[in-house]
Amino acid sequence: MTTSPAIVDVADVSKRFVLHQDKSLKERIVAFARSREHQQDFWALRDIDLSIETGSTVGLVGHNGSGKSTLLKIIGGIIQPTSGTVRRRGRLAALLELGAGFHPDLTGRENVYLNAAILGLTRAETDKYFDAIVDFSGIESFIDTQVKFYSSGMYVRLAFAVSVHVDPDLLLVDEVLAVGDEPFQRKCLAKIADFQREGRTIVFVSHSSDQVGQLCDRVVVLDHGQMVHDGSAADGIKALRSTFEAAHSSPARTTGADGALTSGARIDDVRVTSTSTDLSGDYLPGGDLLVEIDYTIGSVPSGWIAGIDIETPVGQGVYRINTDGLGIELPTSPGNYSLTITLGGNALGAGSYQVHASLVTPQGRDIDRRQPAASFSVSTEPGAVGVVHFRASADLHAT
């Protein structure tokens, strides 16, 4: 198979925002008189190079303020980069906000036509898709009602329905998939899957690593305007995790002159073992999983909690337990401890898993966290897929 042509080419793009405190004429004149050094610059993006192939699904992830929405807007042409160029081809639909351009005083029908025109459909095309749009939104009986009387769910459903019927080659989505009730969300995801099958390119911003892991074949991680990762979804989510960690692993702990902890606590080591492994070291179902956490306490609030998370490599949560749930009160006196959590009867399905360990205050603030702290793989009898394991068998007889 030949490589797909690029649909978007982002070359060396940077974006600087100048933070203005006020917009009044007076302020402007005052600000003009001051030297430019007083302007507060903020680089939302720095030297981004990105080429997106036709038919790929790219997730843009990063914590708040990392510049992912800015990048999406620059690709969409809504804001212009300070330097660098973006080149693009094919028909674009940007779902940065559902129902942008909906006018509350107009009816659903009028808004469908208006919104479709905004997204680039001609009237004839809208006529053609109109029934499909209304059908997808599931609000037939309200289509001639002014949209200001719609519930917020109906509103976004209609807007989403319009957006996905625009027949785009390139779809930019900014965290709008988390709308509507569950059946509608499933419908949306199914539509996205259709889009992928039809070879449309999707670039979307999301906070949900589950969603990214599920949908994307490529993940770009941004951190403070820099691209820190560009590659597979699984690695991307790991990279995202590490930026999160960097963001909030400033645990309040201090060490004395001899290196001993005087406040806070520290995870020293985390080990996972199994009572039942195969020759290659993979764990087998049915055995007990032992998670040992070695930690040092300087000073911690009483009622603090230690916990573990087990996740798949794409960040899907599988299991989570902590000492609070286990009904254990942890001592607060300084010293070294080792906590073993036994998970009896391993029921995980085949695959690799990561273990995260965390020490948190009763209010949920991190004292220390290791993410990932350890990993392991599980082998099961071949033939099943999933994160849980059953002793599956089949019985067949004629009836």
Partner 1 sequence: MADPAATLRSERIALLPLAEVGRPGGLLQGTARSIRDIWSRRELLGLLVRRELKARYKNSSLGLVWSLMRPLSQLLIYYFAVGEIIGLARAIPDFAIFVFVGLTAWTLFSEILSNATSSIIHNQGLVKKVYLPREIFPLASVGGALFNFAVQFLILLIAVLALGRFPLTLDIVYAAAAFIMLVTFATALGVLLAGLTVYFRDLEHLIEVVLAVLFWASPIVYSYTFVRDAIGGSILEQIYLANPVTIAVLGFQRGLWIAGSDPVTGIEWPPDLALRMLGIFLFSVVLLWVSQRIFSRLQGNFAQEL
The amino acid present at 38, given as its one-letter code, is H
| Closer residue to partner 1 (CB): 218 or 271 | 218
In the complex, minimum distance from the CB of residue 102 to partner 1, in angstroms, rounded to a whole number = 9
Question: Which strand (E) or helix (H) includes residue 77?
Answer: none
In the complex, minimum distance from the CB of residue 169 to partner 1, in angstroms, rounded to a whole number = 6
| Closer residue to partner 1 (CB): 122 or 336 | 122
What is the DSSP pairing of strand 92-95 with strand 261-274?
unpaired
In the complex, minimum distance from the CB of residue 159 to partner 1, in angstroms, rounded to a whole number = 11
In the complex, minimum distance from the CB of residue 222 to partner 1, in angstroms, rounded to a whole number = 18
| Closer residue to partner 1 (CB): 87 or 128 | 87
| Closer residue to partner 1 (CB): 4 or 316 | 4
Return the structure tokens found at 256: 């004395």
Return the structure tokens found at 225: 């305007």
| Closer residue to partner 1 (CB): 127 or 181 | 127
Question: Are the C-beta atoms of residues 321 and 342 closer than 8 Å to each other?
Answer: no
Alpha carbon distance 55, 32 (integer Å):
48
In the complex, minimum distance from the CB of residue 274 to partner 1, in angstroms, rounded to a whole number = 40
Rg for the chain (alpha carbons), in Å? Answer: 26
Alpha carbon distance 331, 337 (integer Å):
9
In the complex, minimum distance from the CB of residue 49 to partner 1, in angstroms, rounded to a whole number = 15
Return residues touching partner 1 (CB under 8 A).
1, 4-7, 9, 17, 23-25, 28, 54-55, 73-81, 85-90, 92, 94, 96-97, 100-101, 103, 105-106, 110, 113-114, 117-120, 122-123, 146, 169, 197-200
Could you tell me where the beta strands, DSSP code E, fall in 237-304? 254-255, 261-274, 289-299
Question: Are the C-beta atoms of residues 143 and 134 closer than 8 Å to each other?
Answer: yes
Neighbours of 29 (CB within 10 A): 9
| Closer residue to partner 1 (CB): 99 or 213 | 99
| Closer residue to partner 1 (CB): 75 or 360 | 75
Alpha carbon distance 343, 274 (integer Å):
9
In the complex, minimum distance from the CB of residue 243 to partner 1, in angstroms, rounded to a whole number = 24
Classify 143 in phi/psi space as left (phi over 0), alpha (psi -120 to 50) or beta.
alpha
Closest of 315, 288, 328, 326 to residue 371, by C-alpha? 315
